[in-house]
Chain A
Amino acid sequence: MPLYSETVMDHFQNPRNVGEMPDADGIGEVGNAVCGDIMRMYIKVRDGIITDVKFKTFGCGSAIASSSMATEMIKGKPITEALELSNKAVAEALNGLPAHKLHCSVLAEEAVRAAVKDYYDKSGIAYDPAMFGCDSCAHEHDQAPAEE
């Protein structure tokens, strides 16, 4: 069985919404280069709807695929729905991730939330800070080593 599903490979090799957004309304960056993955997500918001999304990711194949899938899942959706995006939903939409790669979907969820938080902060929209309790890079890696 290959490491990744066809959907993961598709989103890795043909990532959707990759790029930058100079006039973004919110930018979220999560992860840590020391840990080996960073996601940066840009959102454009009009009347509570996420009208455009872009991302840049430094990380493994599943990190790139998770970012791509997450952008697809929130594009055109109300912010309230984007905030409900769970890592589980991202992983399921990708037809599954290997257990040791699930943290990549967690990172995607966190990137979306960080972008929304940044949008709220920049637009002066009040929110309950408890909504955004996230600590990146606290995810567990658990993988059998590829030895030789």
Chain B
Amino acid sequence: MYVYADNAATTALSPKALEAMLPYFTETYGNASSLHSPGQRAAEGLLWARETVAAALGAEAREIYFTGCGSEADNQAILTGAALGARKGKKHIISTAFEHHAVLHTLKKLEKEGYEVTLLPVHENGVVTAEDVAAAIRPDTALVTIMFVNNEIGTVQPIADIAKVCREKGVLCHTDAVQAVGHIPVNVKDLGVDMLSLAAHKFHGPKGVGALYARRGIALVNVIEGGQQERGKRGGTENIPGIVGMAAALQEATTDLEQHMAYVTGMRERLIEGLSKIPHSRLNGDREKRVPGTVNFCFEGIEGEGLLLWLDAKGVAASSGSACTSGSLDPSHVLLALGLPHEIAHGSLRLSVDSWNTPEEIDHILQVVPEVVKYLRDMSPVWDELERGVTPHLI
């Protein structure tokens, strides 16, 4: 059995989405900007996709801008908030320490251009509070950008409360909802956000497509200059097959969402219960305020990359926030933001399941993970010292 438990990284393309996409690669290949009938048929597909995505998010079709990925949507939203603020002399932006790099690196760039950025702490449970946001807002705050669901630990942020605070103080509010859309209810009007980013491949749509919701009245700043595509806010011939695939996948993911959430939550609870039985393990992030499918554990005394390689060999695809997998000397910035020491953060494991997974697959994960953790601990000098009491257990 091979279990794909890395759906927060990306998902398999849904057959329905594929079916919706295929004609746009072959017979309906026109450019949506063309006047002839092949072009107009492509334009109809684009319109259908825009209306479908808008309906799924509780937005108007004209408020949806298709992009090349979630990162592009994040970039565009933040650069827009920054530019709109600067016109009024506001150059302060609030975010959190555990955002995705699409957000953090855009903010870094803005800092170099003279903006001031406040990164709020996310507390031990990985949840920022609306009170934290309210306290950080200043007269010169232009934008608050906070992720809806954290990609590594799965905690859900109180975006509606945060957006309310922003509205009261006249500050723009963006949320990176890449890990939320298709997994929990996301309605832009209920949330009250000004901008929201999503990516198709996180909910069984194709890779290479994202979207930005921007409330009517928000004049987006272009990331890509070009033609009149996307109301002139994103140049480049539209990726019609991808966009149609995104809409079809979102329609499917949001149909019977409550039912899917209950099913996936049940599997997640089994994972948490089962993995908590491993001695000196720790669930990262709030126990309750989390997306249905994501769990993140730390296992003391082992390193994440070896864990992932062994899990892969034994039939489980997962991910980790260890330095060897994060691409730097430091382990994941998300785990460090929770206050975890480096040596603990190196031994992290993220499992992300969704409605495509089965209870039998959970059985397999729960059989394999404890075996691999024990095996790696048996060869770990760190575990040896912890067990002999040379160094104290931290978890």
Interface residues of A (CB under 8 A from B): 9, 12-13, 15, 18-20, 29, 33-40, 56-61, 63-64, 141, 143-148
Could you tell me if A40 and B328 are in contact, using CB atoms closer than 8 angstroms? Answer: no
Q: How far is the CB of A27 from chain B (nearest CB, A)?
A: 10
Q: Is the CB of B324 within 8 A of A36?
A: yes
Residues on the B chain within 8 Å of A34, using CB: 341-343
Mark out the residues of chain B between 290 and 311 whose CB falls within 8 Å of any chain A CB in the assembled complex.
301-306, 309-310
Known: A12-B306, A33-B346. A58 touches B383 (CB 8 A): yes
Bound Cα distance from A18 to B375, whole angstroms: 11
- For the complex, is B313 an interface residue (Cβ under 8 Å from A)? yes
- In contact, A38 and B381 (Cβ under 8 angstroms): yes
Question: By the criterion CB–CB under 8 Å, are A61 and B323 in contact?
Answer: no
Would you call B329 and A58 a contact (CB within 8 A)?
A: no
Q: Which residues from chain A contact B310 at a C-beta distance below 8 Å?
A: 13
Return chain A residues, CB-CB under 8 Å to B383.
Answer: 58
Q: Would you call B151 and A15 a contact (CB within 8 A)?
A: no
Task: Give the A-binding residues of B (Cβ under 8 A).
Answer: 8-10, 101, 151, 301-306, 309-310, 313, 319, 322-329, 331, 341-343, 346, 379-384
Contact check: which of B101, B151, B305, B382 meets A33 at CB < 8 Å?
B382
The 6 A-B residue pairs with the shortest CB-CB distance in the complex, in nearest-first order: A145-B327, A60-B305, A33-B343, A60-B324, A40-B381, A58-B380
Given contacts A56-B384, A58-B383, A141-B329, contact A36 B346 (CB under 8 A): yes
Which residues from chain B contact A33 at a C-beta distance below 8 Å? 342-343, 346, 382
Contacts of A63 in B (CB 8 A): 303, 306
- Are A61 and B328 in contact (CB-based, < 8 A)? no
Q: Is the CB of B343 within 8 A of A60?
A: no
Q: Which residues of A are found within 8 Å of B342, using beta-carbon distances?
A: 33-36
Smallest CB gap from A18: residue in B:
B379
Contact call B8/A148, Cβ cutoff below 8 A: yes
**B residues less than 8 Å from A38 (CB atoms):** 380-382
Question: Do the beta carbons of A57 and B343 come within 8 Å of each other?
Answer: no
With contact pairs A12-B306, A12-B309, A37-B303 given, residues A60 and B327 touching in the complex (Cβ less than 8 Å): no
Asked whether B379 lies within 8 Å of A13 as measured between CB atoms, the reply is no
A37→B324 CA distance, assembly (Å): 10
**A35 and B329 in contact, given A12-B309, A148-B151 (Cβ under 8 angstroms):** yes
